[in-house]
Structure 1
Amino acid sequence: MTISKELLDELLKGCERPEDLLGDAGPMKELKIKLMERMLGAELTAHLGYEDGKDAPSDQANRRNGSSARSRESYVR
């Protein structure tokens, strides 16, 4: 996969100093969170054997029970 120059420009818009990119309000933190959520969702799909938003097989006791958005603060500990 190649990341386009336009996508990079959009992600880096407004970043003038290293802390603008890497700080708590910077895009790197949000990118790490979003990538981790996507990986964990894919792992759950593989484990359960069905996609999010689809009905679980009737013979499967282990199911998705919903999710909720977490606040940015809940990731920082």
Structure 2
Amino acid sequence: MYTTNAIESLNARFRQAVRRRGHFPNEQSALKVLYLVAVHRQHNRTNPTGETAGWKGILNVLAMTYGDRLGIN
């Protein structure tokens, strides 16, 4: 299993958190911010189920327009 995307995503979140705060008074405060970023769970997509809203209507229009290409009876 490749984890490059997950690692790059976490690194991007770290960079974003550090960039927003600018500077830190000490190393402990920087580590605390990075810890909070790592612990906070974020979904990568706004639609975690992956379902397309209104798909039945879209499929009906496609079937009427391109019914011979879709292979739908």
Shorter-chain TM-score bucket reads: 0.3 to 0.5
The structure with the greater share of residues assigned to helix is 2
TM-score, normalised relative to structure 2: 0.36
Higher relative contact order (CA 8 A, sep 6+): 2
TM-score, normalised relative to structure 1: 0.34
